[in-house]
Amino acid sequence: MAWDYILLERPAEHIARVVLNRPEARNAQNTQFLYELNEAYEEAAQAEDIKVIITAANGPHFSSGHDLRERDHLENQDRYRPVTGAMGYHRAGAEGRMAREEELYTGFCERWRNIPKPTIAAVQGRCVAGGLLLCWPSDLIIAADDAVFEDVTVAMGIPGVEVFAHPWELGPRKAKEMLFAGAQINAEEARMLGMVNRVVPRAELEAATLALAQQIALRPSFALKLAKQAVNNTQDAQGRNAAMMGAFAMHQLAHSHCMEVHGLPVDPGGINPGVAATYAVGDEPWRAKTPS
C-alpha cells in the first residue's frame, strides 16, 4: 500500500521496516499518520515471511509527539473504520475525547505491543511525549547516541502521556523525575535504566538495528512468538495493564478539569516557550493550536 506519512520496506530477508516519514513535521502524529502506521504494522504482521519488524524514522528526530495543529481531527477520524472497538468520538464532553484516545493511543499501542513477532525501534534525536508511544510498544529499542526522551505533559496540566508506561520503562523514581521536573533522559541513561537495549553512533543506527533483526530472524517464528508472549504475560501479571488503565482515567480527568477551568483540554499557564517549541510543531502561537 502507498501511504502519505509511512513507508514499509523490506531491507533484508524476513525483515520489515516501518518508517515514520513526516520529517518536515518532525514526525508529529496526526490522525492520518496513526492510522497509516497501524495499517503498516498490520501488513507486516500478516506477511508470512516476515519474522521481525523494525520501526525507524526519517529526519533528524524520531517523533515530536502529537500534532497540535490538527483542527479537524474528528472529521479525519471519520475517514477510518475503528479497529479497537472504541466509538462515540463525536459525543460531547469527556465521553468523546476518551473514546478517541482509547482508539488512537491506548488501543493502538496495545495492539502494537502484542504483535506476535519481535519488534525493534530505532530512535534518533528527540522523542517527545507522544513520541514515546511509538517506541515503548516495541520489544527492543536501539538508540542513537544523540537520542533524548522526554514527557512534557505535566507542564500542560496532564499527569503523563496516554500510555502510562513510565514506571515500567524507567523505574518509579526516574519516572517521577521525568514527569515532575520534565527531565530529559539521554540515550546512555536510558540504556542504564533498561529502557534502551543498545546505544550506537548515529551513523550506525540503521545498520546496527538491521544486524540485530537479522540475528533474531535466525530463530523459529513460533518460538519467538511464545517467548514474547511469555514476557508480556509476566508484565501483565504484575499489574501493568490495570495500572495503565488507572493512569489513563486520571489523564481523562485532567483533560476535563482543564476544560472546566481553562476552556482548553490542557493548562495553557503551564506552557513556557521552550516547552511549547519542543512539543508543538510549526510557528503558530501555542494557544492557537488544537491541544492533544
pLDDT at residue 77 in the model: 81
Per-residue pLDDT reduced to its tens digit, 203-225:
999 999 999 999 999 999 999 99
pLDDT at residue 18 in the model: 98
DSSP summary character for residue 107: I
pLDDT band at 271, cuts 50/70/90? low
Backbone phi, psi, residue 54, to 5°: -100, 140
pLDDT at residue 292 in the model: 35
Asked if pLDDT for residue 281 goes beyond 50, the answer is no
pLDDT band at 288, cuts 50/70/90? very low
Q: What's the mean pLDDT in 23-43?
A: 95
Asked if pLDDT for residue 61 goes beyond 90, the answer is yes
pLDDT at residue 274 in the model: 41
Mean pLDDT of the chain: 90
Q: What's the mean pLDDT in 84-102?
A: 89
pLDDT at residue 277 in the model: 35
pLDDT at residue 2 in the model: 83
Q: Which of 33-47, 79-93, 198-212 has the lowest mean pLDDT?
A: 79-93
Asked if pLDDT for residue 69 goes beyond 50, the answer is yes
Per-residue pLDDT reduced to its tens digit, 175-201:
999 999 999 999 999 999 999 999 999
Asked if pLDDT for residue 280 goes beyond 60, the answer is no
CA distance 49 to 51: 6
pLDDT at residue 286 in the model: 33
Is residue 53 within a helix (H) or strand (E), and if so which, with residue range?
Answer: strand 52-57
Asked if pLDDT for residue 57 goes beyond 90, the answer is yes
pLDDT at residue 273 in the model: 41
pLDDT at residue 270 in the model: 67
Q: Which of 72-86, 182-196, 232-246, 262-276 has the lowest mean pLDDT?
A: 262-276
In Å, how far are 83, 112, 125, 131, 254 from 194, measured between CA atoms?
A: 31, 20, 19, 18, 29
Asked if pLDDT for residue 158 goes beyond 90, the answer is yes
What is the DSSP secondary-structure string of 232-282?
Answer: HHHHHHTTHHHHHHHHHHHHHHHHHHHHHHHSSSS-GGG--HHHHHHHS-S
On whether the CB atoms of residues 76 and 104 are closer than 8 A, the answer is no
pLDDT band at 75, cuts 50/70/90? confident
- What domains appear along the chain, each with residue ranges and CATH number? 6-288 (3.90.226.10)
CA distance 147 to 41: 23
Give the three cell numbers for residue 51. 519474522
Asked if pLDDT for residue 30 goes beyond 90, the answer is yes
